[in-house]
Chains A and B, each alone.
Chain A
Amino acid sequence: MGRVTRRVTETPRVLTLVLAVPDWPGHRAGQHVDVRLTADDGYQAQRSYSIASAPEDSPRVALTIERIDDGEVSPYLVDVLAEGDQLELRGPIGGYFVWDVDASGPLLLVAGGSGICPLMAMIRHRAARQSRVPTRLLYSSHSLEDVIYKHELDRLAGRGDGLEVIHTLTRSRPQGWSGYSRRIDREMLAEVGFAPEQRPLCMVCGPTPLVEAVANALVESGHPADRVKTERFGPTGG
């Protein structure tokens, strides 16, 4: 059971819930939790959410929620759940889409929209452990306003410890935007990513079309399939 200690508005559609979880057993960056809501007639609804906070933050656990308009769980979490409320959690869950600072090789992170959440846990874990593992995040958002964790990413990328953050904005750009302004493709991955000879670990998370396109492009570019790990979500994540 967690208690909401803070609500952080990340973008107009995205909120972070910071939870105090007294009996939290700890987690690895990339794992998720199951959230279970119970109505007073006993009806229950469950969804999985990636943990966005570093393992080093335990027993504080941050979940970043994108509000799905016709969803059942996310509108409750975003609109109704208040500081001080209790939230039933199960986890951590999943041991494949994870990264630890002692993993070998450079790290390529590719995110679409709220697919940033488990990757942010890895970036925060890397920062908390003062790792200098060469890491590049390629992050696709609709617009600059939709970029989650923008200020924190700017700050971490400015530390000069080997983290680079590259944005692409697919729907609208601010005036004077000089960055990428298209969906992630093979050419962009070649410009931004590491060469296959460097044996990067590639972690890709986002909506299915992005994950399919990116994972296929990485494999076609010569990255071994077992160095490409994916996590997908769709609008049915509700």
Chain B
Amino acid sequence: MSFVSRAFRGRPRERAPADRLPPGQYVVGDFPVLSAGPTPRTPLTAWTFSITGEVDEPRRWTWDEFRKLPSETITRDIHCVTKWSKLDSVWEGVSVDTLLEGIETSAEYVMAFSDGGYTTNLPLADVTGGKAWVAFAFGGAPLEPEHGGPARLLVPHLYFWKSAKWVRGLRLMSEDEPGFWETYGYHMYGDPWQEQRYSCD
């Protein structure tokens, strides 16, 4: 360690189990809100979820159709690029595997798109194989609008900006493209364990 902050001790270390906390993160008990603009409010009657882009036939679910899909309870740690981590957060959602079932595609990336124009890019392999969900409940209650309700993407192994709030679909792409924060200097992939916060990381 080349530099030491004079007289800085930090919090007692046992508060954060090292194998659960990626570098540079700290644990919070509450659930901070971060977003770049007003919270969109789409009525459930107008809500749909779509799979578009490099697919033979685009797919679309209404809210009622979406909620009839098999769902599961997911307990995971989440890590925000603004340094907070929340351990053992409990979600309910539909696996992205379920949404992509039977889809033929040569795509290797997806762009999640949301109400309000937010987008974020991910490799297809990072949203399949039991690694990503479209979540509609948090802590046993319907997901609040501030936290991305009615539904948000949940990709807990990447920094949480990849878990797009107010998600309305996935666009399958053969080439990677930057989404919203990625065009403003955030990392294209965003692995918290590699501390891939910014484009130069």
Check A72–B38 contact: CB distance below 8 A: no
Shortest CB distance B27–A (Å): 10
With A39-B8, A43-B10, A93-B198 as known contacts, state yes or no: A215 contacts B38, CB within 8 Å. yes
Check B11–A94 contact: CB distance below 8 A: no
Is B26 located at the chain interface by the 8 A CB criterion? yes
Check B36–A97 contact: CB distance below 8 A: yes
Q: Is the interface of A mostly helix, strand, loop or mixed?
A: mixed
**Interface size range of chain A in the complex:** 35 or more
With A37-B10, A96-B184, A226-B117 as known contacts, state yes or no: A86 contacts B3, CB within 8 Å. yes
Q: What's the Cα separation between A208 and B147 when bound, in Å?
A: 11
Check B4–A39 contact: CB distance below 8 A: yes
**Interface size range of chain B in the complex:** 35 or more
Q: Mark B10-45, 1 if CB is under 8 A from A, else 0.
A: 110100000000011010101011111111100000
Q: Mark B57-84, 1 if CB is under 8 A from A, else 0.
A: 0000000000000000000000000111
Chain B residue numbers with a CB within 8 Å of A226 are 37, 117
Chain B residue numbers with a CB within 8 Å of A96 are 36, 180-181, 184
Check A225–B40 contact: CB distance below 8 A: yes
Nearest-CB residue, chain B, relative to A208: B33
Check A80–B24 contact: CB distance below 8 A: no
Check B3–A228 contact: CB distance below 8 A: no
Shortest CB distance B23–A (Å): 8
Is A1 located at the chain interface by the 8 A CB criterion? yes
Chain A residue numbers with a CB within 8 Å of B197 are 34
Is A42 located at the chain interface by the 8 A CB criterion? yes
Chain B residue numbers with a CB within 8 Å of A231 are 36
Chain B residue numbers with a CB within 8 Å of A93 are 185, 198
Q: What's the Cα separation between A12 and B137 when bound, in Å?
A: 41
Check A94–B30 contact: CB distance below 8 A: no
Q: Mark A77-94, 1 if CB is under 8 A from B, else 0.
A: 000110001111000011
Chain B residue numbers with a CB within 8 Å of A229 are 36-37
Q: What's the Cα separation between A238 and B85 when bound, in Å?
A: 13
Shortest CB distance B176–A (Å): 19
Nearest-CB residue, chain A, relative to B117: A226
Shortest CB distance A178–B (Å): 31
With A38-B3, A38-B4, A236-B30 as known contacts, state yes or no: A45 contacts B10, CB within 8 Å. yes
Check B82–A48 contact: CB distance below 8 A: yes
The 10 closest A-B pairs by CB, nearest first: A215-B38, A95-B184, A37-B5, A208-B33, A37-B8, A46-B24, A236-B28, A234-B32, A219-B38, A43-B10
Given contacts A43-B13, A208-B32, A230-B38, 5 further A-B pairs with CB under 8 A are A45-B11, A46-B83, A212-B33, A226-B37, A236-B84
Q: Which residues of A contact B (CB under 8 A)?
A: 1, 34, 36-40, 42-48, 72, 76, 80-81, 85-88, 93-97, 208, 212, 215-216, 218-219, 225-226, 228-234, 236, 238
Q: Which residues of B contact A (CB under 8 A)?
A: 1, 3-11, 13, 23-24, 26, 28, 30, 32-40, 82-84, 116-117, 146, 180-181, 183-185, 197-198
Provide 12 A-B residue pairs closer than 8 Å at the C-beta atoms, listed in order of the A residue: A1-B3, A39-B10, A44-B23, A86-B3, A88-B3, A93-B198, A96-B184, A216-B38, A225-B117, A229-B36, A231-B36, A238-B26
